[in-house]
Amino acid sequence: MKTFNVAIVGLGTVGSGVYKILKQKASLLAHRAGVRIRLVAACDNDAKKRRALNLSRSIAVRDLRQVVNDPKIDCIVELIGGKGIAKKLILDAFKNGKDVVTANKALLAECGKEVFAAAKRSDRQIYFEASVGGGIPVIKSLRESLVSNDISSILSIINGTANYILTRMSIDKMDFKQALKLAQHKGYAEADPSFDIEGIDSAHKITILSEIAFGKSVSLKEVYCQGITHIDEADIEFADEVGYVIKLLAIAKQTKGGIEIRVQPTLLPKDHILASVNGSFNAIYLHGDETGDMLLYGRGAGSRPTASAVVSDIIDLAKVRCANAPLLPYPAFAPISAKKLVDIESRYYLRFSVIDKPGVLSQISSLLGKQGISISDVMQRERKAGRVVPLIVLTHEAYEKNLRAAIKQIDRLKCIKKRTQVLRIEE
């Protein structure tokens, strides 16, 4: 049996999982792949991480230069993250004739074009299943299993931290701060959770997904990105009363006006298939012209689920290099501009903070009406004459530019006491 020599760089959450799977399932993997995967180096600059895995002296490495320059290594598994050292490591690996497996969504979303071009120049490959959806095989599904499909839309919940927080707010009636604290306590959120709660992590992932699904590459800067920090428990409650849940959705759609790509907290009807994706779970809901609707669901992060995706990439590369399996073509990276947010049509949830007095609703509906926006539902539960109360309005389909113009005028009214909360509704 041929042997494929692998080095892991970065032995943190994901790297340690990859090490354990390769060690514990070596003979099963060799049997299934028809190639033996030999771990020749496990590198981390943190001695504690190396010690925790009880690495043998022959494979433990502190300095990644030792790995990148070792001629016997066929494939480097980059699991340090970030865009600095990780990028240099990957580019050097290509130059030295090595393939790469990575889970690094930030790097691929921001520098994917450059990284894939470098791989092509060196006639090497970079596989990246774990960069989106952790253990969910979404990249492979899009590149291989769904190859005969034109994918027209992707609606996804691809950040477990944000989904966990929104779930706790919804089911346990926690406020945002309490839910975030619990997520951190349970290990679902980092000490600095900003990438997750600001939607940036989801933006990285939907950029990669749209490139693979549509064969067109939207610059990360063009992905509209709104996080969940401004979601109030009142919004969750009101949404619930009118039959919706709030989810942080990463959306990519091919439309006549171009690619619509955005990350936003969104109201989903309770019977929508993504509405029951709770806790730290992820799901990607696709529409293919041949398959119709399809849902991929599972663990979007964590040591072993993410490592499962990394190991699958290692095996695929081993089969290419040692068993003449066909190579996958490089992603196209054909640049395309994203459809402007103002040109997007949607239904809206609006929460106005108004003085409770007669005539307020008619002022608001008249300004909405002037922009051609019609109302589908109104809710005002509390009655506190003369005090500030929430007034909830759901609209029919409207263009974002019209909605923005209306809200700008409404927020100037004397009866409006706070900036209006605007959320989109996806049916």
Per the residue annotation, which of 87, 98, 140, 205 is the catalytic one? Answer: 205
Using rule CB under 6 A, residue 43 touches ligand NAP = yes
Which one of 30-38, 77-85, 147-155, 225-233 is the stretch in contact with ligand NAP (CB under 6 A)?
77-85
- Regarding 9 and contact with ligand NAP (CB under 6 A), the answer is yes
Angstrom distance (rounded) from CA 317 to CA 36: 12
Q: Which residue is nearest to ligand NAP (CB)?
A: 12
Site string for ligand NAP, 272-301 (x = CB under 6 A): -----------------------------x
Neighbours of 140 (CB within 10 A): 18
Q: Is 103 in the site for ligand NAP (CB under 6 A)?
A: yes
Residue 302 found at the interface with ligand NAP (CB under 6 A): yes
* 13 near ligand NAP (CB under 6 A): yes
Q: Note whether 12 binds ligand NAP by CB under 6 A.
A: yes
- The string over 148-186, giving b where at least 16 C-beta atoms fall within 10 Å of a residue's C-beta and e elsewhere, is ebebebbbbbbbbbbbbbbbbbbeeebebeebbebbbee
Would you call 205 a catalytic residue per the annotation? yes
Q: Looking at 9-17, 20-28, 118-126, 180-188, which segment touches ligand NAP (CB under 6 A)? A: 9-17
Is residue 264 within 8 Å of residue 226, measured between CB atoms? yes
**Closest distance between ligand NAP and the C-beta of residue 302, in Å?**
5
Other C-beta atoms lying within 10 Å of the C-beta of residue 236: 22
Quick one: residue 199, left, alpha or beta (phi over 0 = left, psi -120 to 50 = alpha)? left
Number of residues binding to ligand NAP, judged by CB under 6 A:
25
HSE-CB for 327 with a 13 A CA cutoff: 12
Pick between residue 194 and residue 255 the one whose CB is nearest to ligand NAP. Answer: 194
Place of tokens 């959705």: 249
Task: Locate 118 and state its tokens.
Answer: 């470098």
Amino acid sitting at position 45: N
Among 130, 223, 249, 275, binds ligand NAP (CB under 6 A): 130
Q: What track of x and - describes contact with ligand NAP for positions 133 through 152 (by CB under 6 A)?
A: -x------------------
The stretch among 10-18, 92-100, 270-278, 321-329 that binds ligand NAP (CB under 6 A) is 10-18
β-bridge mates for residue 282, sequence order:
298
**Residue closer to ligand NAP (CB basis): 10 or 227:** 10
Identify the sign of the CA torsion 371, 247, 227, 167. Answer: positive
Residue 394 DSSP SS3: strand
Residues that bind ligand NAP (CB under 6 A): 9-15, 43-46, 49, 64, 79-81, 85, 103-105, 130, 134, 301-302, 306
Which residues does the annotation mark as catalytic? 205
